[in-house]
Structure 1
Amino acid sequence: MDGLAEATRGLTMTQIWTTGLQRVYRMRFVTPSWRNLRAMIEAMKGARLADMPAIYMSFGYFPPEADR
């Protein structure tokens, strides 16, 4: 089962796997910061050191949110 919900920094995706019994086999939350991390890394390639804080802040990356 997949579900999408709005979050403060974008769209949060929830995935739930079950075995058909009453218990959940696996549950996964994908937050906006996790998806933006890959784009931020690509944007920083070839950038100068002085530009990196501006790139970092423009994505609104929040490390604790990405660590779920």
Structure 2
Amino acid sequence: MDEPAQGKPPTFWQMLQSILAAAFGVQSGKNRARDFNHGKASHFIALGTVFTLLFILVLIGLVQLAMHLTAR
């Protein structure tokens, strides 16, 4: 499906999939090896930071919604 050519860096979508898999702790060995061998650390750090910030904002939003709904 998302099989990169040998030696090519991972695409944006492959990196996003790797970030999500790593967040849930289910990254496959094959994808991890691809990321370490052909990916740039700066790209993964930037994408991971954006994912973490979005995750925190979603959590804050859910807490605010729960507080609003229970204050009635």
TM-score under structure 1 normalisation? 0.28
Instruction: Determine which structure has greater relative contact order: mean sequence separation of CA pairs < 8 Å that are 6+ residues apart, divided by chain length.
Output: 2
Give 1 or 2: higher helix fraction: 2
TM-score computed with the length of structure 2 as normaliser? 0.27
